[in-house]
Amino acid sequence: MTLLGLERIEARHGLLQAVRGVSLNIEPGETLALVGANGAGKTTLLRTVAGAHRPAAGRILFEGADVTAVPAYARLRAGIALVPEGRRLFAGMTVKENLVVAAAHGRPGHWNVDTVLEAFPLLQRRLNSRAGNLSGGEQQATAIGRALMTNPKLLLLDEVSLGLAPIAVEAVYRSIDTLIKGGATIILVEQDIGRGLDVATRVACMLEGRIILEGDAKEVTREQVTEAYFGLQRARRSAS
């Protein structure tokens, strides 16, 4: 069964239409890299899937059930977890406290403090440190670990590498690769095309709220994604 189905989703910020008629299916165990420039609609689409943004039109199906009108907390309990852009940790709480508080709102399953620390070894020495005192990479690892503590069926990762030093990006992506190899289902929003293609099974590129390129990550070239990313295909059609 398809895990997530989006049917002609539209989402707005006031008069601005951020997402325009997006349809997607996500299968269990799949990693979709959702790429695109700033303002393409990627974050709004992820927030709409998680229930943090109300769609203006369309349907969201999760495991065959219509969750379009289901609130965010109920989607979390159903198995949809969002790691938002900017992490949004509880800065005054320790890493362990950030992890434990999430577990109370999720589902039973594989993920607990010990298994999160196995997946994110850079947190092992920081478990009792306040989240506000962590490096950017440590904060991102904590944010992903917090989402995993809810034992999600679908993990939504928004701008994982944004603002991180290269060495931190490497560490975080090593852990993401561990999740993928373990069978996690992920939608990964990423501006770094190379990073997205390296870990994904499928890629979709957004431009001005629409998906203009979609395909198997092994079959779509970086040149094709780059052209879609910058709207070069549309520019050529307009010129001709």
Domain 4-239: top CATH class:
alpha beta
Contacts of 123 (CB under 8 A, 6+ apart): 95, 116, 117, 138, 141, 142, 145
Q: Rounded distance, CA 177 to CA 66, Å? A: 30
Contacts of 115 (CB under 8 A, 6+ apart): 148
For the ranges 26-30, 72-76, 166-170, which has the lowest average pLDDT?
A: 166-170
In sequence order, the β-bridge partners of residue 130 are: 94
Q: Model confidence over 186-231: pLDDT tens digits?
A: 999 987 888 888 999 999 999 999 999 999 999 998 889 888 988 8
Say if residues 57 and 82 touch (Cβ distance below 8 Å). no
Amino acid in position 66: D
Beta strands 210-216; 202-207: pairing state: antiparallel
Q: Model confidence over 139-195: pLDDT tens digits?
A: 999 999 999 999 999 999 999 888 888 998 999 899 999 999 999 999 999 878 888
Say if residues 235 and 218 touch (Cβ distance below 8 Å). no
